[in-house]
Amino acid sequence: MKRILALLILTIGLLLPLAAAAASVPEAADAMAAAMDVQMARKLGQEAPPAKGISIMVTTPVDLGDLEGANGLARQMAEEMSRWFVQAGYRVQEIRKGRTILFQPETGELLLTRKTELLGTQNVSSVAILAGTYTITPKAVRFNMRLIHTPSNEVLAMGTATVPVSEELRPLLVDASRLGPIRPSVGTSLR
């Protein structure tokens, strides 16, 4: 029986890194958020997660080599982590909420914005801010996320995860704001 248990533990130990390497964006976000939740509960002296009484703001992870650059995958990671924290019972503040609903016939009814002049409020307060960085390699994207205590800048919790680059994710790795105006690469005509 001890041999079987030891073999099972060894097998699980060998498979866990493979499972982590094959993580999807939602799985990577869940793993990082759950790890940070445990750290937060411990830091607050709570017996078990979820950490109670915490309000957080979520920001987009930035490129470690350019702290002003981000891509679609980073924005998706922020959305997935926000989802996890809301579902876990955290009070997540939406900092992109506009003052009013913007009606655009070609797009739809919009409430979220990144235009500061359209924001509902520019003074949002919370206990912690979720922030992070990412690094792109040819085969994977490594995320390092942290919950930063707003008043003191202390890192309260940290989580890391690696997402393999797939054909599905490759288009999200481009920072569209740096491409300039989109121009057709081929000519077309209607007959």
Residue partners of 39: CB distance under 8 A and separation at least 6: 156, 157, 158
Nearest to 61 by CA among 77, 83, 81: 77
Strand partners, 130: 58, 147
pLDDT tens track for 53-108: 788 999 999 999 999 899 999 999 999 999 999 999 898 888 776 767 778 788 78
pLDDT tens track for 150-177: 889 999 999 999 999 988 888 888 865 5
CA distance 98 to 96: 6
Burial class (CB in 10 A: 0-12, 13-18, 19+), 69: middle
Tokens of 24: 């999807």
Tokens of 75: 């924005």
pTM score of the predicted model: 0.73
